[in-house]
Amino acid sequence: MDVSTHGTLRTPEEGVPKTGRRGCEHPWTQPDFRPQGEAETAGIGHAGRAAAGGHSIRRCGRGKGGLQMRGKREICVLLAAALLLFAGMPAAATLDSELIETIDVVDEAEIYEQGEPTGAVDVTPLFEVTSPSAILMEQSTGRVLYEKNPDEPLPPASVTKVMSLLLVMEALDSGAISLEDPVTCSEVAAGMGGSQIYLEPGEVMTVDELLKAAVVASANDATAALAEHVAGSVDTFVAKMNARAAELGMTNTVFKNTTGLPTEGHLTTARDIAIMSRELMKHEKIKDYTLIWMDTVRNGEFGLANTNKLVKTYQGITGLKTGSTSEAKFCLSATAERDGMGLVAVVLAAPSGKERFADATKILDYGFATYEKRVYEAGAIDPMKVLRGTQPSVALAVKNPQVEVVVPKGSNQKISTKVEVCEDLQAPVDKGQKVGQISFYLDGELLATSDVVCQNDVPALTFAALVLKGISQLFGICEPV
Protein backbone atom coordinates (compact mmCIF):
# COMPACT_ATOMS: atom_id res chain seq x y z
CA MET A 1 0.00 0.00 0.00
CA ASP A 2 1.83 3.10 -1.19
CA VAL A 3 1.44 6.44 0.48
CA SER A 4 1.71 9.35 -1.92
CA THR A 5 2.03 12.07 0.70
CA HIS A 6 3.74 11.98 4.10
CA GLY A 7 4.90 14.24 6.86
CA THR A 8 4.02 16.88 9.39
CA LEU A 9 0.29 17.22 9.98
CA ARG A 10 -1.07 20.59 8.94
CA THR A 11 -3.39 22.68 11.04
CA PRO A 12 -6.82 23.79 9.79
CA GLU A 13 -5.44 27.28 9.17
CA GLU A 14 -2.76 25.88 6.86
CA GLY A 15 -5.13 23.72 4.88
CA VAL A 16 -4.63 20.12 3.91
CA PRO A 17 -2.94 18.42 0.99
CA LYS A 18 -5.68 16.91 -1.15
CA THR A 19 -5.61 13.50 -2.62
CA GLY A 20 -7.42 12.35 -5.71
CA ARG A 21 -9.79 9.44 -5.39
CA ARG A 22 -9.97 6.72 -7.99
CA GLY A 23 -12.93 7.34 -10.29
CA CYS A 24 -13.51 10.92 -9.06
CA GLU A 25 -12.58 14.14 -10.84
CA HIS A 26 -12.43 16.25 -7.71
CA PRO A 27 -10.06 15.94 -4.75
CA TRP A 28 -11.36 15.78 -1.21
CA THR A 29 -9.89 16.27 2.21
CA GLN A 30 -9.21 14.29 5.32
CA PRO A 31 -12.12 15.15 7.62
CA ASP A 32 -9.99 15.84 10.70
CA PHE A 33 -8.29 18.74 9.00
CA ARG A 34 -11.10 20.63 7.23
CA PRO A 35 -10.00 24.17 6.14
CA GLN A 36 -11.56 27.01 8.09
CA GLY A 37 -14.81 28.31 6.71
CA GLU A 38 -15.90 24.97 5.31
CA ALA A 39 -19.41 24.10 6.36
CA GLU A 40 -19.57 21.31 8.90
CA THR A 41 -22.73 19.98 7.24
CA ALA A 42 -21.50 20.23 3.67
CA GLY A 43 -21.68 16.50 3.17
CA ILE A 44 -22.49 13.53 5.34
CA GLY A 45 -19.99 10.73 5.55
CA HIS A 46 -17.56 11.71 2.81
CA ALA A 47 -15.61 14.63 4.19
CA GLY A 48 -17.89 17.41 3.03
CA ARG A 49 -17.84 16.79 -0.69
CA ALA A 50 -19.99 19.76 -1.64
CA ALA A 51 -17.87 22.30 0.19
CA ALA A 52 -14.61 20.69 -0.87
CA GLY A 53 -15.54 20.53 -4.53
CA GLY A 54 -16.15 16.79 -4.40
CA HIS A 55 -19.10 14.70 -5.47
CA SER A 56 -22.58 15.22 -4.02
CA ILE A 57 -25.93 13.71 -4.92
CA ARG A 58 -27.94 15.83 -7.31
CA ARG A 59 -30.77 17.77 -5.70
CA CYS A 60 -34.17 18.03 -7.36
CA GLY A 61 -36.64 20.87 -6.75
CA ARG A 62 -37.73 24.32 -7.88
CA GLY A 63 -35.52 26.46 -10.04
CA LYS A 64 -34.05 26.41 -13.51
CA GLY A 65 -34.07 22.94 -14.99
CA GLY A 66 -35.93 21.55 -11.99
CA LEU A 67 -39.26 19.86 -11.77
CA GLN A 68 -42.09 22.41 -11.26
CA MET A 69 -44.50 21.30 -8.54
CA ARG A 70 -48.15 22.30 -8.66
CA GLY A 71 -48.59 21.98 -4.94
CA LYS A 72 -48.50 19.76 -1.95
CA ARG A 73 -51.88 18.29 -2.76
CA GLU A 74 -50.73 16.69 -6.01
CA ILE A 75 -47.61 15.35 -4.29
CA CYS A 76 -49.64 13.69 -1.57
CA VAL A 77 -51.87 12.09 -4.18
CA LEU A 78 -48.82 10.69 -5.99
CA LEU A 79 -47.35 9.32 -2.76
CA ALA A 80 -50.62 7.70 -1.75
CA ALA A 81 -50.95 6.11 -5.17
CA ALA A 82 -47.41 4.78 -4.96
CA LEU A 83 -48.01 3.23 -1.57
CA LEU A 84 -51.20 1.57 -2.81
CA LEU A 85 -49.37 0.32 -5.88
CA PHE A 86 -46.54 -1.28 -3.89
CA ALA A 87 -48.55 -2.38 -0.85
CA GLY A 88 -49.25 -5.79 -2.29
CA MET A 89 -45.70 -6.46 -3.46
CA PRO A 90 -43.53 -8.93 -1.53
CA ALA A 91 -40.79 -7.52 0.70
CA ALA A 92 -38.08 -8.94 -1.55
CA ALA A 93 -39.32 -7.07 -4.64
CA THR A 94 -36.71 -5.04 -6.53
CA LEU A 95 -37.00 -1.28 -6.99
CA ASP A 96 -36.72 0.25 -10.44
CA SER A 97 -33.06 0.86 -11.35
CA GLU A 98 -33.62 4.58 -12.04
CA LEU A 99 -35.19 5.00 -8.63
CA ILE A 100 -32.31 3.21 -6.96
CA GLU A 101 -29.89 5.63 -8.56
CA THR A 102 -31.57 8.52 -6.74
CA ILE A 103 -30.92 6.80 -3.41
CA ASP A 104 -27.48 7.02 -1.79
CA VAL A 105 -24.70 5.54 -3.89
CA VAL A 106 -21.32 5.07 -2.25
CA ASP A 107 -18.29 5.55 -4.48
CA GLU A 108 -15.22 3.30 -4.54
CA ALA A 109 -13.06 2.71 -1.46
CA GLU A 110 -12.11 6.05 -0.02
CA ILE A 111 -8.64 6.96 1.18
CA TYR A 112 -7.70 9.72 3.58
CA GLU A 113 -4.06 10.77 3.58
CA GLN A 114 -2.19 13.36 5.55
CA GLY A 115 1.37 14.49 6.00
CA GLU A 116 4.44 15.40 3.99
CA PRO A 117 8.08 14.37 4.49
CA THR A 118 10.21 16.71 6.61
CA GLY A 119 13.57 15.06 6.02
CA ALA A 120 14.74 11.64 7.12
CA VAL A 121 16.84 11.08 10.22
CA ASP A 122 20.06 9.20 9.49
CA VAL A 123 19.89 5.82 11.24
CA THR A 124 22.84 4.20 9.46
CA PRO A 125 24.60 1.81 11.88
CA LEU A 126 28.17 2.86 12.65
CA PHE A 127 29.23 -0.58 13.82
CA GLU A 128 29.90 -4.02 12.40
CA VAL A 129 28.97 -7.42 13.79
CA THR A 130 31.09 -10.51 13.31
CA SER A 131 28.11 -12.87 13.36
CA PRO A 132 26.98 -13.82 9.83
CA SER A 133 23.31 -13.42 10.71
CA ALA A 134 21.67 -10.95 13.09
CA ILE A 135 18.54 -8.91 13.66
CA LEU A 136 17.17 -6.26 16.03
CA MET A 137 13.42 -6.12 16.55
CA GLU A 138 11.26 -3.94 18.80
CA GLN A 139 9.15 -6.16 21.02
CA SER A 140 5.69 -4.58 21.10
CA THR A 141 5.46 -3.55 17.43
CA GLY A 142 7.70 -6.08 15.73
CA ARG A 143 9.45 -3.35 13.78
CA VAL A 144 12.87 -4.43 12.50
CA LEU A 145 15.51 -1.82 13.36
CA TYR A 146 18.62 -3.63 12.13
CA GLU A 147 19.27 -6.76 10.12
CA LYS A 148 22.09 -8.76 8.58
CA ASN A 149 21.14 -11.84 6.57
CA PRO A 150 18.10 -12.30 8.85
CA ASP A 151 16.44 -14.99 6.72
CA GLU A 152 19.36 -17.38 6.29
CA PRO A 153 18.38 -20.79 7.73
CA LEU A 154 20.92 -21.86 10.34
CA PRO A 155 21.05 -24.31 13.25
CA PRO A 156 20.05 -22.43 16.43
CA ALA A 157 21.48 -24.76 19.09
CA SER A 158 19.78 -24.25 22.47
CA VAL A 159 18.06 -21.04 21.35
CA THR A 160 15.55 -23.65 20.16
CA LYS A 161 14.37 -23.73 23.76
CA VAL A 162 12.68 -20.34 23.29
CA MET A 163 9.87 -22.21 21.52
CA SER A 164 9.89 -25.02 24.07
CA LEU A 165 9.57 -22.48 26.87
CA LEU A 166 6.82 -20.63 25.01
CA LEU A 167 4.68 -23.76 24.86
CA VAL A 168 5.30 -24.45 28.55
CA MET A 169 4.31 -20.89 29.51
CA GLU A 170 1.17 -21.10 27.38
CA ALA A 171 0.26 -24.38 29.08
CA LEU A 172 0.73 -22.69 32.46
CA ASP A 173 -1.40 -19.71 31.47
CA SER A 174 -4.19 -21.93 30.17
CA GLY A 175 -4.23 -23.96 33.38
CA ALA A 176 -3.28 -27.18 31.61
CA ILE A 177 -0.33 -27.53 33.99
CA SER A 178 0.83 -25.75 37.15
CA LEU A 179 4.20 -24.85 38.61
CA GLU A 180 3.60 -27.24 41.51
CA ASP A 181 2.93 -30.26 39.30
CA PRO A 182 5.29 -33.17 40.05
CA VAL A 183 7.00 -34.48 36.91
CA THR A 184 8.53 -37.95 36.78
CA CYS A 185 11.61 -38.16 34.58
CA SER A 186 11.44 -40.77 31.82
CA GLU A 187 14.24 -42.81 30.26
CA VAL A 188 14.00 -40.57 27.18
CA ALA A 189 14.42 -37.36 29.16
CA ALA A 190 17.24 -38.76 31.27
CA GLY A 191 19.15 -39.78 28.15
CA MET A 192 19.20 -36.40 26.43
CA GLY A 193 22.89 -35.60 26.96
CA GLY A 194 24.56 -32.23 26.44
CA SER A 195 23.81 -29.51 29.00
CA GLN A 196 21.88 -31.19 31.81
CA ILE A 197 21.16 -31.50 35.49
CA TYR A 198 21.66 -35.27 35.34
CA LEU A 199 18.08 -36.36 35.92
CA GLU A 200 17.65 -40.03 36.80
CA PRO A 201 14.83 -42.14 35.36
CA GLY A 202 11.98 -42.04 37.85
CA GLU A 203 13.29 -38.90 39.59
CA VAL A 204 10.55 -36.43 40.45
CA MET A 205 10.84 -32.64 40.16
CA THR A 206 8.26 -29.89 40.02
CA VAL A 207 7.53 -27.89 36.87
CA ASP A 208 9.00 -24.88 38.67
CA GLU A 209 12.35 -26.61 39.25
CA LEU A 210 12.49 -27.97 35.71
CA LEU A 211 11.74 -24.54 34.26
CA LYS A 212 14.53 -23.03 36.32
CA ALA A 213 16.98 -25.66 35.10
CA ALA A 214 15.93 -25.30 31.46
CA VAL A 215 16.12 -21.49 31.43
CA VAL A 216 19.15 -20.84 33.63
CA ALA A 217 21.37 -23.83 32.87
CA SER A 218 19.90 -24.75 29.45
CA ALA A 219 19.31 -28.28 30.74
CA ASN A 220 18.26 -30.62 27.93
CA ASP A 221 16.95 -33.32 30.26
CA ALA A 222 14.76 -30.81 32.10
CA THR A 223 13.43 -29.47 28.78
CA ALA A 224 12.52 -32.96 27.57
CA ALA A 225 10.79 -33.75 30.87
CA LEU A 226 8.71 -30.59 30.54
CA ALA A 227 7.83 -31.49 26.94
CA GLU A 228 6.57 -34.90 28.02
CA HIS A 229 4.53 -33.36 30.83
CA VAL A 230 2.86 -30.86 28.48
CA ALA A 231 2.26 -33.07 25.43
CA GLY A 232 2.65 -36.69 26.58
CA SER A 233 5.73 -37.35 24.47
CA VAL A 234 8.67 -35.50 22.99
CA ASP A 235 7.53 -36.23 19.42
CA THR A 236 4.07 -34.80 20.07
CA PHE A 237 5.63 -31.74 21.66
CA VAL A 238 7.90 -31.18 18.63
CA ALA A 239 4.82 -31.31 16.39
CA LYS A 240 3.25 -28.62 18.58
CA MET A 241 6.42 -26.55 18.27
CA ASN A 242 6.21 -26.60 14.48
CA ALA A 243 2.49 -25.84 14.52
CA ARG A 244 3.04 -22.85 16.79
CA ALA A 245 5.88 -21.64 14.59
CA ALA A 246 3.54 -21.70 11.60
CA GLU A 247 0.91 -19.73 13.54
CA LEU A 248 3.49 -17.06 14.36
CA GLY A 249 4.59 -16.73 10.74
CA MET A 250 7.99 -18.35 11.25
CA THR A 251 8.19 -19.39 7.61
CA ASN A 252 11.82 -20.55 7.57
CA THR A 253 11.78 -22.75 10.66
CA VAL A 254 11.73 -26.53 11.07
CA PHE A 255 12.12 -28.03 14.54
CA LYS A 256 13.31 -31.63 14.87
CA ASN A 257 13.73 -31.71 18.65
CA THR A 258 12.96 -29.72 21.79
CA THR A 259 16.53 -28.89 22.77
CA GLY A 260 18.55 -27.79 19.76
CA LEU A 261 20.95 -30.73 19.89
CA PRO A 262 22.49 -31.27 16.42
CA THR A 263 19.95 -32.90 14.09
CA GLU A 264 19.87 -32.72 10.31
CA GLY A 265 17.20 -30.34 9.06
CA HIS A 266 16.74 -28.60 12.42
CA LEU A 267 16.95 -25.00 11.19
CA THR A 268 15.59 -21.52 11.82
CA THR A 269 16.53 -17.90 11.13
CA ALA A 270 17.39 -14.80 13.11
CA ARG A 271 14.06 -13.25 12.12
CA ASP A 272 12.05 -16.28 13.21
CA ILE A 273 13.91 -16.44 16.52
CA ALA A 274 13.08 -12.77 17.13
CA ILE A 275 9.42 -13.49 16.41
CA MET A 276 9.18 -16.33 18.93
CA SER A 277 11.25 -14.38 21.46
CA ARG A 278 8.76 -11.50 21.24
CA GLU A 279 5.96 -13.94 21.90
CA LEU A 280 7.70 -15.55 24.88
CA MET A 281 8.41 -12.16 26.49
CA LYS A 282 4.67 -11.44 26.56
CA HIS A 283 4.62 -13.89 29.48
CA GLU A 284 5.93 -11.77 32.35
CA LYS A 285 6.44 -14.86 34.52
CA ILE A 286 9.33 -16.00 32.34
CA LYS A 287 11.43 -13.12 33.71
CA ASP A 288 11.35 -14.81 37.10
CA TYR A 289 13.68 -17.37 35.53
CA THR A 290 15.57 -15.48 32.79
CA LEU A 291 16.95 -12.94 35.30
CA ILE A 292 18.32 -15.55 37.72
CA TRP A 293 22.10 -15.35 37.83
CA MET A 294 22.76 -18.27 40.16
CA ASP A 295 20.42 -20.68 41.95
CA THR A 296 20.03 -24.32 42.93
CA VAL A 297 17.70 -27.29 42.52
CA ARG A 298 17.32 -30.53 44.52
CA ASN A 299 17.04 -28.61 47.79
CA GLY A 300 20.26 -26.71 47.20
CA GLU A 301 22.32 -29.73 46.21
CA PHE A 302 22.79 -28.88 42.53
CA GLY A 303 23.97 -25.43 41.48
CA LEU A 304 22.81 -23.51 38.41
CA ALA A 305 24.64 -20.65 36.68
CA ASN A 306 23.05 -18.55 33.94
CA THR A 307 24.62 -19.10 30.52
CA ASN A 308 23.53 -15.57 29.47
CA LYS A 309 26.36 -13.38 30.75
CA LEU A 310 24.47 -10.20 29.78
CA VAL A 311 22.29 -10.77 32.85
CA LYS A 312 25.19 -9.42 34.90
CA THR A 313 26.59 -6.83 32.49
CA TYR A 314 23.85 -5.18 30.41
CA GLN A 315 21.57 -2.43 31.72
CA GLY A 316 17.91 -3.29 31.25
CA ILE A 317 18.50 -6.91 30.26
CA THR A 318 15.42 -9.15 30.59
CA GLY A 319 16.65 -12.40 29.01
CA LEU A 320 16.70 -14.61 27.10
CA LYS A 321 18.53 -17.69 25.73
CA THR A 322 21.97 -18.77 24.65
CA GLY A 323 23.00 -21.71 22.51
CA SER A 324 26.18 -23.29 21.20
CA THR A 325 27.24 -26.45 19.40
CA SER A 326 30.13 -27.22 17.07
CA GLU A 327 27.72 -27.01 14.14
CA ALA A 328 25.73 -23.94 15.18
CA LYS A 329 28.70 -22.12 16.75
CA PHE A 330 27.58 -19.45 19.24
CA CYS A 331 24.00 -18.14 19.21
CA LEU A 332 21.98 -15.78 21.37
CA SER A 333 18.56 -14.20 21.67
CA ALA A 334 18.96 -11.23 24.02
CA THR A 335 16.06 -9.11 25.27
CA ALA A 336 16.28 -5.79 27.08
CA GLU A 337 14.04 -2.88 28.05
CA ARG A 338 14.70 0.81 28.63
CA ASP A 339 12.33 3.77 28.86
CA GLY A 340 9.33 1.63 28.03
CA MET A 341 10.82 0.19 24.83
CA GLY A 342 11.72 -3.50 24.62
CA LEU A 343 14.20 -4.88 22.09
CA VAL A 344 15.15 -8.36 20.88
CA ALA A 345 18.66 -8.85 19.47
CA VAL A 346 19.44 -12.17 17.81
CA VAL A 347 22.87 -13.29 16.62
CA LEU A 348 23.60 -16.66 15.01
CA ALA A 349 26.82 -18.52 14.25
CA ALA A 350 29.15 -16.10 16.04
CA PRO A 351 32.79 -17.27 16.00
CA SER A 352 33.06 -17.29 19.80
CA GLY A 353 31.05 -16.80 22.95
CA LYS A 354 32.76 -13.47 23.57
CA GLU A 355 31.89 -12.17 20.10
CA ARG A 356 28.32 -13.40 20.49
CA PHE A 357 27.78 -11.18 23.53
CA ALA A 358 29.74 -8.29 21.99
CA ASP A 359 27.59 -8.34 18.85
CA ALA A 360 24.35 -8.43 20.85
CA THR A 361 25.57 -5.54 22.99
CA LYS A 362 26.39 -3.43 19.93
CA ILE A 363 23.01 -4.10 18.37
CA LEU A 364 21.07 -3.34 21.55
CA ASP A 365 23.09 -0.17 22.19
CA TYR A 366 22.34 1.00 18.65
CA GLY A 367 18.62 0.40 19.12
CA PHE A 368 18.33 2.28 22.40
CA ALA A 369 20.51 5.16 21.18
CA THR A 370 18.74 5.59 17.85
CA TYR A 371 15.05 4.82 18.37
CA GLU A 372 12.24 5.61 20.75
CA LYS A 373 8.65 4.48 21.18
CA ARG A 374 5.84 7.01 20.86
CA VAL A 375 2.10 6.80 21.21
CA TYR A 376 0.35 8.21 18.15
CA GLU A 377 -3.26 9.35 18.50
CA ALA A 378 -5.44 8.63 15.47
CA GLY A 379 -7.72 11.54 14.57
CA ALA A 380 -11.47 11.41 14.14
CA ILE A 381 -12.98 10.03 10.94
CA ASP A 382 -16.09 11.51 9.33
CA PRO A 383 -19.31 9.48 9.36
CA MET A 384 -19.88 7.07 6.49
CA LYS A 385 -22.99 6.86 4.33
CA VAL A 386 -25.25 3.88 4.86
CA LEU A 387 -27.42 2.55 2.05
CA ARG A 388 -31.06 1.85 2.87
CA GLY A 389 -30.72 2.46 6.59
CA THR A 390 -32.95 4.22 9.10
CA GLN A 391 -30.10 6.72 9.44
CA PRO A 392 -28.27 8.22 6.46
CA SER A 393 -24.84 7.64 7.99
CA VAL A 394 -22.97 5.89 10.76
CA ALA A 395 -20.29 7.33 13.02
CA LEU A 396 -16.87 5.73 12.65
CA ALA A 397 -14.05 5.25 15.14
CA VAL A 398 -10.59 3.74 15.21
CA LYS A 399 -10.75 0.55 17.28
CA ASN A 400 -7.36 1.21 18.87
CA PRO A 401 -6.98 5.00 18.57
CA GLN A 402 -3.69 5.09 20.47
CA VAL A 403 -1.08 3.27 18.42
CA GLU A 404 2.45 2.61 19.59
CA VAL A 405 5.07 3.34 16.94
CA VAL A 406 8.85 3.14 17.00
CA VAL A 407 10.58 6.06 15.29
CA PRO A 408 14.10 7.47 15.08
CA LYS A 409 14.87 9.92 17.85
CA GLY A 410 14.46 13.47 16.56
CA SER A 411 12.22 12.39 13.69
CA ASN A 412 9.80 15.28 14.40
CA GLN A 413 6.63 13.21 14.11
CA LYS A 414 6.88 12.33 10.43
CA ILE A 415 3.87 10.05 10.69
CA SER A 416 1.42 9.64 7.83
CA THR A 417 -1.95 7.93 8.06
CA LYS A 418 -4.07 6.32 5.41
CA VAL A 419 -7.68 5.27 5.99
CA GLU A 420 -9.44 2.86 3.66
CA VAL A 421 -13.14 2.13 4.06
CA CYS A 422 -15.39 -0.28 2.20
CA GLU A 423 -17.39 0.78 -0.81
CA ASP A 424 -21.12 0.15 -0.38
CA LEU A 425 -22.08 -0.06 3.29
CA GLN A 426 -25.62 -1.40 3.44
CA ALA A 427 -27.94 -1.58 6.43
CA PRO A 428 -28.29 -3.31 8.77
CA VAL A 429 -25.04 -2.14 10.38
CA ASP A 430 -23.86 -3.45 13.75
CA LYS A 431 -22.01 -1.51 16.42
CA GLY A 432 -18.35 -2.52 16.31
CA GLN A 433 -18.61 -3.79 12.72
CA LYS A 434 -15.32 -3.43 10.85
CA VAL A 435 -15.63 -1.25 7.74
CA GLY A 436 -12.01 -0.38 7.05
CA GLN A 437 -8.48 0.03 8.29
CA ILE A 438 -6.17 2.87 9.27
CA SER A 439 -2.46 2.48 8.53
CA PHE A 440 0.39 4.45 10.07
CA TYR A 441 3.54 5.12 8.03
CA LEU A 442 6.95 6.64 8.56
CA ASP A 443 8.60 7.71 5.30
CA GLY A 444 6.63 5.08 3.41
CA GLU A 445 7.32 2.27 5.90
CA LEU A 446 4.25 0.69 7.47
CA LEU A 447 4.47 0.98 11.26
CA ALA A 448 1.09 -0.18 12.52
CA THR A 449 -2.54 -0.72 11.59
CA SER A 450 -5.87 -0.60 13.39
CA ASP A 451 -9.44 -1.41 12.41
CA VAL A 452 -12.02 1.26 11.58
CA VAL A 453 -15.36 0.28 13.14
CA CYS A 454 -18.94 1.56 13.40
CA GLN A 455 -19.90 3.31 16.63
CA ASN A 456 -23.61 2.45 16.57
CA ASP A 457 -26.26 0.21 15.03
CA VAL A 458 -28.16 1.28 11.92
CA PRO A 459 -31.24 -0.87 11.24
CA ALA A 460 -32.41 -1.41 7.66
CA LEU A 461 -35.33 0.58 6.25
CA THR A 462 -38.57 -1.27 5.61
CA PHE A 463 -39.61 -1.70 1.99
CA ALA A 464 -42.35 0.91 2.31
CA ALA A 465 -39.89 3.41 3.79
CA LEU A 466 -37.50 2.77 0.89
CA VAL A 467 -40.27 3.52 -1.60
CA LEU A 468 -41.21 6.74 0.19
CA LYS A 469 -37.60 7.84 0.32
CA GLY A 470 -37.02 7.16 -3.36
CA ILE A 471 -40.16 8.98 -4.50
CA SER A 472 -39.42 11.89 -2.17
CA GLN A 473 -36.02 12.31 -3.75
CA LEU A 474 -37.39 11.86 -7.26
CA PHE A 475 -39.97 14.62 -6.86
CA GLY A 476 -37.80 16.92 -4.78
CA ILE A 477 -40.02 16.90 -1.72
CA CYS A 478 -36.93 16.95 0.43
CA GLU A 479 -33.25 17.12 -0.26
CA PRO A 480 -31.51 13.75 -0.32
CA VAL A 481 -29.23 12.87 2.54
Q: Is the pLDDT of residue 339 over 80?
A: yes
Distance CA 105, CA 241 (A): 50
- CA separation, residue 275 to residues 8, 16, 153, 272, 346 (Å): 32, 39, 14, 5, 10
- CA separation, residue 93 to residues 20, 88, 103 (Å): 37, 10, 16
Least confident of 71-85, 152-166, 196-210: 71-85
Q: Is the pLDDT of residue 292 over 60?
A: yes
Q: Is the pLDDT of residue 189 over 60?
A: yes
The mean pLDDT of 281-296, rounded to a whole number, is 98
Least confident of 77-81, 166-170, 244-248: 77-81
Q: Report pLDDT for 442.
A: 80
Which one, of 42, 115, 34, lies nearest residue 381 by Cα?
34
Q: Is the pLDDT of residue 127 over 80?
A: yes
- Average pLDDT for the chain: 79
Q: Buried (b) or exposed (e) across 321-357, using 16+ Cβ within 10 A?
A: bbbbbeebbbbbbbbbbeeebbbbbbbbbbeeeebbb
Q: How confident is the model at residue 147 (pLDDT cuts 50, 70, 90)?
A: very high
Distance CA 75, CA 79 (A): 6
- Inside any domain, residue 112: no
Q: Is the pLDDT of residue 335 over 80?
A: yes
| pTM for the model | 0.71
* Residues annotated as part of the active site: 158, 161, 218
In percent, how much of the chain has pLDDT > 70? 73
Pairwise pLDDT comparison (472 vs 139), residue with the higher score: 139
- Inside any domain, residue 171: yes
> Is 469 annotated among the ligand-binding residues?
no
Phi and psi dihedrals of 444, rounded to 5? 85, -10
Q: How confident is the model at residue 120 (pLDDT cuts 50, 70, 90)?
A: low
What would the pLDDT profile of 69-83 be if each residue is shown by its tens digit? Answer: 444 445 554 555 454
- Inside any domain, residue 151: yes
The mean pLDDT of 277-286, rounded to a whole number, is 98
Q: How confident is the model at residue 103 (pLDDT cuts 50, 70, 90)?
A: very low
What would the pLDDT profile of 251-274 be if each residue is shown by its tens digit? Answer: 999 999 999 999 999 999 999 999
Q: Looking at residue 271, which CATH number applies to its domain?
A: 3.40.710.10
- Inside any domain, residue 390: no
Pairwise pLDDT comparison (100 vs 247), residue with the higher score: 247
Q: Is the pLDDT of residue 131 over 90?
A: yes
- Inside any domain, residue 374: no
Q: Which domain holds residue 271?
A: 133-350
Domains held by the chain: number:
1
Tell me which amino acid residue 123 is: V
- Inside any domain, residue 480: no
Q: Is the pLDDT of residue 7 over 50?
A: no
Q: Report pLDDT for 405.
A: 86
The mean pLDDT of 41-59, rounded to a whole number, is 32
- Inside any domain, residue 261: yes
Q: Report pLDDT for 380.
A: 86
The mean pLDDT of 16-27, rounded to a whole number, is 32
The mean pLDDT of 285-299, rounded to a whole number, is 97
Q: Report pLDDT for 54.
A: 31
Q: Is the pLDDT of residue 108 over 80?
A: no
Q: Where does 157-206 have alpha helices with state H?
A: 161-174, 187-190
The mean pLDDT of 40-69, rounded to a whole number, is 34
Q: Report pLDDT for 107.
A: 32
Q: Report pLDDT for 413.
A: 60
Q: Report pLDDT for 478.
A: 55
What would the pLDDT profile of 380-435 be if each residue is shown by its tens digit? Answer: 888 999 998 898 999 999 998 888 889 899 877 668 889 999 888 989 999 999 99
* 311 CB-side CA count, 13 A: 20
- Inside any domain, residue 434: no
Neighbours of 163 (CB within 10 A): 31
In percent, how much of the chain has pLDDT > 90? 59
